[in-house]
Structure 1
Amino acid sequence: MKFSTKLAAAGSAVVMALSLAGCDGGNMNYPSGASAVITGDTIVIGSVTTNSGSAAAYGEAELQGFQLAVDEINAAGGIDGKQVALESMDDKGDATEASNAFNKLAGDANVVAVAGPTISATTAAIAPLADQTQLVTISPAATSDSIETGGYLFRTCFKDSYQGEVAARFAAENLKVKKVAVLYGTGDPYSSGVGEAFAKAAEELGLEVVAKESSSSADDTEYSAQLQKIQAAGAELLYAPYYYSVAGPYIIPQARSVGFDGYVMGPDGYDGLKLTGDKSQYDGTFYTTHYSADDESNSKVQDFITNFRKKNGSDPNTFSALGYDTIYMIKQAIEEAGDNLTRAAVRDAVAGMEFEGVTGSFTMDKSGSPTKTVIVLELKDGKPTYNTTIQPK
């Protein structure tokens, strides 16, 4: 998930200018810093997350996932007999703060990898720095397609375009609809990117896109005019990729108020959907995400939930689950690197990694993004309920 800010555009421009050529998941040439063997009795993993500001809830959830994983690893004897220490930095949701925090971690020769950042804007700022300093960085939840990955930057989450494609497949194969409509915010890369990916995939699957409407941003509160056109077009499903704070209190109730009684579907931005009024108006709402507490197909999920509750006294959300998996990905890479523990060896172990975690099973593709299972949740009486797991094709 990502926030629509000027930072995202600026960060993407920096990434494009500094992107690597030929980083396709194979070996790379490293300076002496990346090939230096990391010694010491403790394995240090850095983290850069948003723990203050408007996205603080996401960063705090990720940090809880990081810490639970570290505690479990240490309780089980550590990694190759060494205890793990987590060095946490708050980027405040700001690209400059994120860069400064990352550079501090990169300058510590004991830091073997970094978990984070939280949002796409800060991750875009760090992407070129990860490549320049050759320090493996795994972002739990930066979904933007524009972020360059596959050099030293990887992600635990799927990309925006991927979940748009999966949503179209779910609409066609599971919901059996024939006519769909799309509503998205043109001023928001997340909303427009996922929306366009859905529309393209829907047409390729033989669905008729009967309406494609937009708002100037993803933060508007009035959508009735667009929704009236969608209703008049005869859409059976509305795909509206907005955030939980907009889709819940505005888009879905307004769609019902203009007479639209079809399905509503969205991306992972619906996690924590804010509800208003009669909960029944949210029936028939679906969204794609990374994790579900009700997923009985994944044996790791219930153990994760039990341990999280014991440590934090609350239920984990998607961001905690993604953070938890991120630390275990780093652990797997360090174990594969073996006695010759270098940043270069850890990077090579992450590239092409096959991993099974709380948020699904996947293989890391050549661009540094996972091709993974996707969870679909359905709202029933206002409560997100597990519907199905969609396997990658």
Structure 2
Amino acid sequence: MKKVFAFVMAACMAATMFVGCAPKKGNEEASTVIKVGTSGPLTGGNAMYGNAVANGLKLAFEEINAKGGLKFEVNAQDDEGDTEKAVNAYKNLKDWGMQIMAGPTTSGAAAATAAECAADRVFMMTPSASDVSVIAAGDNVFQICFTDPNQGVGSAQYIAEHNLGTAIGVIYDSSNPYSAGIYEKFQEKAEELGLNVVAVEAFTEDNKADLTTQVTKCQSAGCDLVFLPIYAAEATQVLTYADKIGYTPKFFGCDGLDGILAVEGFDPALAEGVMLLTPFDATATDEKTQNFVKNYTDKFGIAPNQFAADAYDVAYVIAAACEAGKVTPEMSAEEVCTILMEQVLSMSFDGITGEGMQWSEDGAVSKEPKAVKIENGVYVGIE
């Protein structure tokens, strides 16, 4: 029988990159707290994602600690989105005494870390690494975000159902597992649905500093909708250049665009009308979401994006599974892993990124995406 966990999530937050959420009393620390590690790009062009994940985790665990019962401590490492640095970050976390991995943030880094977690039997749930290779690494690796195939399929379906474009262009990063994975499934579904894809323009890590050619080719092909399964930093280049040349198609993206309004140096007015699929709508009126948004914004001076929200939910999933499975701080990472696997596979979880979330044996989550549109500088839910 499914165990149903529903949470009323209060609002208080942790503020630093490395947060000890429980009191430290010398050597007692290891026996009084459960240690949760994460890694992501805390510096560099994609730092908005890694910091959002770290902050979402710390916020949730501070709330959980304040309620009494099990205590958790979070250690966030900077892996810069790099696979080698992610493995080094994982080793640092293991040396620290990590019992649970709540990350990494990006797909390439997470795939490398997942292999380590699978070998060491460390339970891993990533908030945001959506490539299927991540959960393929082992039966103890889970996602709370949508998989890339689901995002690609869902985007094609939404565009078709709402007749958003008659001539569609795609600009994607062929060197990035996240972007390439979404594009592949989008293209397959677009063909199945009869969408008219007239331009597919790729770029790579080596040439992503200038995307003018890709934008110009979409314009020349007459694209009235451009699909952007890319990260926000690259998307700002597309939008900026499109505005410069007077090109005004609809733009549609996935969760990687969440946070585009906060990209340094970007004029957020240029994102007006951009649509994206995401599990999180910051304008939702339910109490859990509004409490989360208010307190996150009050503390960090910026509204939370989907990465922060998914991380927040990951923390509550971990806490619920630990409580139900009677996890104690003295347990080894392998012992904790065995318990959390059993608990997560049998739970139904209500969070701020979805209700009735459940996980399959392959580590993928089942939940519904939300479509949002940027209007007057804020994300607004759309049908």
Q: TM-score range by the shorter chain?
A: 0.7 to 0.9
**Cα distance in 2 between the residues matched to 1:219 and 1:140:** 28
Task: Say which SS state the counterpart of residue 142 (structure 1) adopts.
Answer: coil
Q: Where does residue 21 of structure 1 map in the other structure?
A: none
The question of whether the paired residues in 1 share the 8 Å contact of 2:87 and 2:112 is answered with: yes
Q: Which residue of 100, 103, 118 corresponds with 1:116? A: 103
Q: Which residue of 327, 333, 336 corresponds with 2:315? A: 327
| RMSD (Å) for aligned C-alpha atoms | 3.0
Q: Where does residue 139 of structure 2 map in the other structure?
A: 151
**TM norm structure 1:** 0.76
Ranges of 4+ aligned residues in structure 1 off by more than 6 Å: none
Moved more, 61-70 or 233-242: 233-242
Moved more, 118-127 or 188-197: 188-197
Q: Where does residue 164 of structure 1 map in the other structure?
A: 152
2:40 aligned with 1:50, yes or no? yes
Residues 334 and 289 of structure 1: CA distance in aligned 2, closer, same or farther (over 3 Å): same
Task: Say which SS state the counterpart of residue 109 (structure 2) adopts.
Answer: helix
Which amino acid in 1 is paired with 2:258? D
Q: Where does residue 351 of structure 1 map in the other structure?
A: 345
**Cα distance in 1 between the residues matched to 2:84 and 2:240:** 38
Q: Where does residue 87 of structure 2 map in the other structure?
A: 99
The question of whether the paired residues in 1 share the 8 Å contact of 2:53 and 2:308 is answered with: yes
The question of whether the paired residues in 1 share the 8 Å contact of 2:199 and 2:217 is answered with: yes
**TM norm structure 2:** 0.78
Displacement of 1:313: 4.9
The question of whether the paired residues in 2 share the 8 Å contact of 1:172 and 1:178 is answered with: no
Q: Where does residue 68 of structure 1 map in the other structure?
A: 59
Q: Where does residue 288 of structure 1 map in the other structure?
A: 277
Residues 111 and 52 of structure 1: CA distance in aligned 2, closer, same or farther (over 3 Å): closer
Written as runs of structure 1 = structure 2, the 5 A alignment for 1:220-259 is: 220-248=208-236, 250-256=237-243
2:326 aligned with 1:338, yes or no? yes
Stretches of structure 2 that go unaligned for 5 or more consecutive residues are 1-29
The question of whether the paired residues in 1 share the 8 Å contact of 2:281 and 2:381 is answered with: no
The question of whether the paired residues in 2 share the 8 Å contact of 1:227 and 1:258 is answered with: no
Which amino acid in 2 is paired with 1:346? L
Q: Where does residue 10 of structure 1 map in the other structure?
A: none
**Cα distance in 1 between the residues matched to 2:103 and 2:118:** 15
Which amino acid in 2 is paired with 1:357? G
Which amino acid in 1 is paired with 2:373? E
**Cα distance in 2 between the residues matched to 1:224 and 1:51:** 26
**Cα distance in 2 between the residues matched to 1:385 and 1:292:** 7
Residues 226 and 69 of structure 1: CA distance in aligned 2, closer, same or farther (over 3 Å): closer
Residues 166 and 134 of structure 1: CA distance in aligned 2, closer, same or farther (over 3 Å): same
Residues 219 and 94 of structure 1: CA distance in aligned 2, closer, same or farther (over 3 Å): same
**Cα distance in 1 between the residues matched to 2:164 and 2:346:** 35
Aligned residues: 342
Write the deviation string for residues 82-127 of structure 1: whole angstroms up to 9, x where unpaired.
333334444454444433443455567x754221222223212211
Displacement of 1:327: 0.7
Residues 181 and 94 of structure 1: CA distance in aligned 2, closer, same or farther (over 3 Å): closer
**Cα distance in 2 between the residues matched to 1:172 and 1:99:** 40
The question of whether the paired residues in 1 share the 8 Å contact of 2:142 and 2:364 is answered with: yes
The question of whether the paired residues in 1 share the 8 Å contact of 2:107 and 2:177 is answered with: no
Displacement of 1:228: 4.3
